[in-house]
């Protein structure tokens, strides 16, 4: 197989920072191979035939949100994608400590995973506090682009919901503009509290608590038409 001569621009920065702790490193060797998403095209429901729904979290960071959602909804299969190796190691610790069996991981670019999934296989998607690339010259590296939205439209069932959250005002506007341009998604907010207040099922992460952005968190929920 030849490599793509024009691969998509990377939407994330470094993939590793500090050394991974020994216990987490051991889980990278033992647990990750057991729950890693297949390297070829696959139907996620074959990974958990009794799954009531299939969710995808894009960029799960340290894994707190993903693990908490998995614990809340044991009948749901959650696919998580994250290229940052320290985050993957942290997520493995959460999954191991809580004994969660309904999560499968892709330790790389989510677009590679999405290309392997069949049409209309996802019931829900989370994109929470992605790298904002706040400088104008770097905006082209943002995850949310027309191409990603088109791919999500292919993968999400009619009526499936997508939650995007950011604490950068410009990224919220950017995302609204691009989803509004898609005929496949609707933003169903009716009042300011719908995007200013965390949704009832939201789980706050340590990253969110740091308040690194330039505004209070904004929560945008879109519905697949």
Residue 7's pLDDT is 52
Percent of the chain beyond pLDDT 70?
92
Residue 109 pLDDT greater than 90, yes or no: yes
**Terminal CA-to-CA distance of the chain, rounded, Å?**
36
Quote the pLDDT of residue 8.
60
112-131 tens-digit pLDDT: 999 999 999 999 999 999 99
The whole-angstrom separation of Cα 157 and Cα 179 is 16
| pLDDT at residue 206, rounded to an integer | 86
Cα 159 to Cα 84, 162, 181, 218, 224, distances in angstroms: 31, 10, 18, 22, 5
Q: 126, 199 in Cβ contact below 8 A?
A: no
How confident is the prediction for the chain on average, in pLDDT? 94
* pTM attached to this predicted model: 0.93
pLDDT of residue 18: 80
Q: Do 117 and 157 form a contact (C-beta atoms < 8 A)?
A: no
DSSP 51-95: -SEEEEEES-TTSHHHHHHHHH-TTEEEEEE---HHHHHHHHHHH
Q: Which two tokens stand for residue 205?
A: 């992460």
Say what the pLDDT of residue 15 is.
Answer: 59
Domains and their CATH numbers in the chain: 21-40+62-114 (no CATH), 119-225 (3.40.50.150)
Q: Per-residue pLDDT tens for 1-60?
A: 344 554 566 555 555 568 999 999 999 999 999 999 999 999 999 999 999 999 999 999
Burial environment of residue 63 by CB neighbours within 10 A (0 to 12, 13 to 18, 19 or more): buried
Which value, in Å, is the radius of gyration of the alpha carbons in the chain?
17
Q: Which residues are catalytic?
A: 131
Residue 3 makes CB contacts below 8 A (sequence gap 6+) with none
């Amino acid at each position: 197989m030849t490599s793509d001569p024009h691969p998509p621009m990377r939407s994330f920065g470094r993939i590793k920072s500090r050394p991974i702790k020994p216990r987490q490193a051991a889980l990278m060797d033992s647990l990750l191979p057991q729950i890693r998403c297949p390297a070829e095209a696959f139907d996620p429901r074959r990974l958990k035939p009794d799954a009531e729904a299939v969710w995808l979290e894009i960029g799960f960071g340290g894994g707190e949100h993903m693990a908490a959602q998995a614990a809340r909804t044991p009948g749901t299969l959650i696919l998580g994608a994250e290229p940052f190796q320290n985050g993957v190691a942290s997520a493995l610790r959460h999954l191991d400590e809580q004994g969660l069996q309904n999560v499968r991981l892709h330790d790389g670019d989510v677009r590679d995973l999405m290309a392997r999934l069949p049409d209309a296989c996802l019931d829900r998607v989370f994109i929470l506090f992605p790298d904002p690339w706040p400088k104008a010259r770097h905006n082209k590296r943002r995850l949310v682009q027309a191409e990603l939205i088109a791919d999500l439209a292919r993968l999400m069932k009619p009526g499936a919901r997508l939650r995007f959250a950011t604490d950068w005002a410009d990224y919220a506007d950017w995302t609204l503009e691009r989803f509004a341009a898609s005929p496949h998604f609707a933003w169903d907010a009716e009042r300011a509290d719908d995007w200013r207040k965390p949704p009832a099922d939201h789980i706050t992460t340590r990253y969110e608590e740091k308040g690194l952005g330039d505004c209070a968190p904004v929560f945008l929920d879109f519905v697949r038409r």
